[in-house]
Structure 1
Amino acid sequence: MSSTPAVTTGPARPLPWLPPVVHTAVLFGGLYGVAVAGGPPDLPRAAAFSLTLLLLAVLDHAERRRFPGRTPPRPAVALLLARLTLYVAANVADTSGVARALLVLVPIAAFFAFGRRASIVLSVTCTGLLLAKNTLRVPQWFLRTDLVTDLLMSGLALVLAITMAGVALREQEARVRLGRALAELGDSHDRLSAYAARVAELSATQERNRLAREFHDGLGHHLTAIAIQLEKAAAFQDLDADAVRHAINAARGSADRALDEVRQSVRTLRDESEPFSLSVALADLVGHSDGGAQRVTLGLSGEERGHPVTLLTALYRAAQEGLTNAHRHSGAAHIALSAEYGEHETRLVISDDGLGFPSDGPRDGFGLRAMRERLGPLGGEVMIDTAPGRGTVVTVTVPREPVPEPAR
């Protein structure tokens, strides 16, 4: 039979109220028996009986003060032997027989200190002592109903005591586990709160970066177009009134486009945006990129339907950035923009016949960094092919399905 291991530290002892209740009941029962017994009372035995119970109460109080939790094994052995001695002394001094109830506390104390096996052994020992007492003192005691009944009731009380001790110990262990689980749950809640705060902070940072890219890619492009048209108007103000008027109208159109971009961003923040079409957006972008000078051409191939909106939006911003850079830095006479919707990936190409730049020179300004940051989470790539005097080709490739980060 397996035994429950004793625990020397941890929570308070189970059933702390039981020994004082039993001691008090036995004391009053024994003194009542002395008071109602016929003949003169045996005061010395009554005093010895009362003294043993008082010593038991003092022993219990001292143990609770010295060991608020479980009693360590060595002190537990000494205390159990002291209790057994006092229990025997109380039974010897008792004239009413009520002191036998103290034996119920023996298996309970042994169970809490040493486990189930020790409790069962001591219970059998106590039952054997009662059997030996009857055998030695009362000839043919087994023919007396009162003695047999008393022995059976004592054995049953010991069994119930062991069962009650086991239930109390399991209930206390369950409370301890529940307390630990609640403490761990509190720690998990604190960690989740910290994680939530961190996620909120990262989300806010990501949203700020997104807005910065939106304003750079959208407003930056249109402000560049406005600047180009105003420079054109200034250059032709004394030469060609029609060209000046046309340039001012184109600048006004770019300003309207910039305002539309701002409104679109606000609608996106409010989750009120309309379905996005990259083909329509690219055609509109090309039509307003240089004021109708026909320097920019657009080519579209494949089926746009079914591609994620995040992918299409990222490609549109890449096209804005590429055209802005080509207008601002390349000095190109012709710019070609093409978008190819493939089954597995979408490719955007911006090429110009401008000045180009050294392939090993610095090339990542804020715009290109923003482009790579926008396309990186989608698994996209940005490649630049350029050389002095032969123009620049920017190729953006994005898979149709986002690539998991470990694979990237």
Structure 2
Amino acid sequence: MQGSLEKLVNASRPEEILSTLLSEVRAVLRGKGACLFEYDPARDWLQMTLILSPGYASDPALAPDLQPFTVGISATQSRFWRQLMDTRRPFLIDAAKEEHAELFWPGTRQWHIESNEPLAVGIPLAVGDVALGFLGVSFSGRIDLSDADLNLAQAFGHQAALTLHMLRLAEVAKQAALAKERERAARQRVRELSATNDALKRALDSLSEEPDINRSISGILGSIARDLGADHGALWLRDPATDTYAVRLVYYKGEFVDARSGHPATKSWPLARDLRWRSHIRRRRPILHKVAELPDLTDTDRALFTRLGIKQLLGLPLTLGSEVIGSFTLRFTTDQFFSSERLALAQTLAHQATLALQLTRLAADGQEKERVAATLLERNRLARDIHDTIAQHFMGVIVNLDAGLTSPDLKTLAHHAEKARETARSGLEEARLSVKALRAAALQTGSISQGLRKVIDACLENSQISWTLSVPENLPALHETVEQEFVRIVQEACTNVRKHSGATRVLVSLDYAEQAFRLSISDDGNGFDIGAPTEGFGLIGMGERAKRVGATLTVSSRVKEGTVVRVMLQPTPDENTPPQSSIKPDARDTGSAIF
């Protein structure tokens, strides 16, 4: 959207704006070709005047196979045109469907089929009650267009309609200027057109250059208020759940203030009051009302406006497709009369403000999705830590208590009770460290080898499983985050061996070869079917821990043939991006550090 607005701002002539808008609509809808069909009210005639499609020049008259489009058709004979004008919404037709056959002009359906562009969408172009034509976009295959796609395309359609209307008014002004007796009127028209162009360009500038979207909205609405000479104004936003409106911004003496700020200007716009009159919203067009004749006002509201000296109210609906976003209402202390062109300009600028509001909502939705994703990631991390720390220590406590209860003498019972108490204390410490996101207790002191030895011994103690740990003395030092995850993976793997494998021996090794760290945990147990569903966090948690530090984890196992868990990590040289920067200088042996 930002890039599209910048292109429109940089266009120097209205004709260039039309081409740019046509190109942007095609890009938004992911179409193959795009074209402009203009409506001539004098002849009640429709015909193609501009095309952007591979293999065609911009002037469609130069392509003989486009003759059915360029010759055109009487508008009264086109059901497709009537559909667009009746609904004022984009409409999709399919040349492959027989029920759509009557919607195509004579000869054009066959062109769509032979060109392998069966689908086409029309976007109506109108300013107020003035019909101007439509934009057509064709597609080379099936496509799924969302409401958001069509709404954004319709927003560009509003821009194209205003530009086309300006071109026609400019042509009328130019012809009028040729006659001396109408020279003054022509000059006045040129000034109006210049003011219209300036207002439109200011709105585009505000959208494309203002980093604060709320200030951008204020800038656009302020342009409307100043151009129409309004004394006061307010931006109302709709709550779709309750179909009520609340004041968000108040326009007073040339500037906007937050309706919730307590500024004196907000006193005549009570926050608890809903928008009483909505005829402009129901009709989807600007409506100017005299306060004395407005039927929707209560006696209290009418008395308030009389006390403030308000004589007229103008309502501009803020809509995006079929969705009502809100309303911009203006107050006037003198009687006003606005031409249809000025009201059309005001409504077009209001569409710009609606786009800005939609961008704000989309940005807020994106931030909420990021927050939910971050929450889910942290929840998964806590689940892994709980499983790998507290749950494992609870198991150690249970194992020692079971062993003590079955022991034949008091001395053995006391020994197991003491081991259970030590395990419980260690688990409590691990829980505290996990909450603080610190390193595992096994790594608070000593090397990675010592940490691995400690957790293996704790997991397999009081079992009939023997174990061997192999770590070379010259192993390069790992980043502390990697060390912690490796220790947790070994802890989980050894716990699984004890609980499920029926193994008698476990071999754990960690080495560095061929520019990669390799961690392996193997056993001679019963093994299992890799493809069978599993329960719990064990394998999932080990995989997430490996992924967290940029490593890959594989599990190999067959029934009756044991299990091997392998982790491979190829460290990156950038130390400023842990945990991907897996290697750090070894304080114990700086000569063996790898960078």
- What TM-score, normalized by structure 1, do the two folds share? 0.54
Q: Looking at both structures, which has the greater relative contact order when contacts are Cα pairs under 8 Å and sequence separation is at least 6?
A: 1
Distance 1:123 1:250 in 2: 103
Q: Which residue of 2 aligns with 1:260?
A: 429
- Deviation of 1:324 (Å): 0.7
Distance 2:372 2:176 in 1: 64
Q: Given the superposition, is the C-alpha separation of residues 176 and 3 from structure 1 closer, same or farther in structure 2, using an over 3 Å criterion?
A: closer
Q: Which residue of 2 aligns with 1:39?
A: none
> Does the alignment pair 1:384 with 2:556?
yes
Q: Which residue of 1 aligns with 2:501?
A: 330
Deviation string for 1:161-201 (max 9, x for gaps)?
35523422312433664544432222122112122222222
The structure 1 residue matched to 2:194, chosen from 155, 158, 167, is 167
- Secondary structure, counterpart of 2:509 in structure 1: strand
Contact 1:247 1:291 in 2 (8 A): no
Q: Give matches, 1:270-349, under 5 Å.
A: 278-291=448-461, 295-301=466-472, 303-307=475-479, 309=481, 311-342=482-513, 344-349=515-520
Distance 1:173 1:291 in 2: 78
Q: Which residue of 2 aligns with 1:115?
A: 169
Contact 1:233 1:245 in 2 (8 A): yes
User: Is the deviation greater in 249-258 or in 344-353?
Assistant: 344-353
Distance 1:300 1:214 in 2: 25
The structure 2 residue matched to 1:125, chosen from 172, 179, 189, is 179
- Secondary structure, counterpart of 1:268 in structure 2: coil
Q: Which residue of 2 aligns with 1:200?
A: 371
RMSD: 4.1
Consecutive unaligned residues in structure 1, runs of 5 or more: 9-66, 74-110, 130-154, 404-408
> Does the alignment pair 1:400 with 2:571?
yes
- Deviation of 1:252 (Å): 2.2
Distance 1:117 1:361 in 2: 74
Q: How many residues align?
A: 272
> Does the alignment pair 1:250 with 2:277?
no
Distance 2:519 2:186 in 1: 85
- Secondary structure, counterpart of 1:236 in structure 2: coil
Deviation string for 1:235-258 (max 9, x for gaps)?
3333xx554443333222221221
Contact 1:226 1:255 in 2 (8 A): yes
Deviation string for 1:126-176 (max 9, x for gaps)?
25x9xxxxxxxxxxxxxxxxxxxxxxxxx6x57853552342231243366
- Deviation of 1:319 (Å): 0.9
> Does the alignment pair 1:211 with 2:211?
no
- Deviation of 1:223 (Å): 2.0
Q: Give matches, 1:14-163, under 5 Å.
A: 69=128, 114-126=168-180, 160-161=187-188, 163=190
- Deviation of 1:342 (Å): 4.9
Q: Given the superposition, is the C-alpha separation of residues 286 and 268 from structure 1 closer, same or farther in structure 2, using an over 3 Å criterion?
A: same
Contact 1:308 1:400 in 2 (8 A): no
- Secondary structure, counterpart of 1:115 in structure 2: helix
Distance 2:173 2:185 in 1: 9
Greater per-residue strand proportion: 2
Q: Given the superposition, is the C-alpha separation of residues 213 and 3 from structure 1 closer, same or farther in structure 2, using an over 3 Å criterion?
A: closer
Q: Which residue of 1 aligns with 2:586?
A: none
Q: Which residue of 2 aligns with 1:191?
A: 362
Counterpart residue type for residue 120 of structure 1:
K
Distance 1:162 1:360 in 2: 79
- Deviation of 1:281 (Å): 2.9
Which structure has the larger Rg over C-alpha atoms? Answer: 1
Consecutive unaligned residues in structure 2, runs of 5 or more: 1-12, 19-37, 40-125, 133-164, 205-219, 221-348, 573-578, 581-595
Distance 1:113 1:362 in 2: 70
Q: Given the superposition, is the C-alpha separation of residues 251 and 394 from structure 1 closer, same or farther in structure 2, using an over 3 Å criterion?
A: same
Contact 2:401 2:416 in 1 (8 A): yes
Distance 1:363 1:246 in 2: 39
- What TM-score, normalized by structure 2, do the two folds share? 0.39
Distance 2:515 2:494 in 1: 25
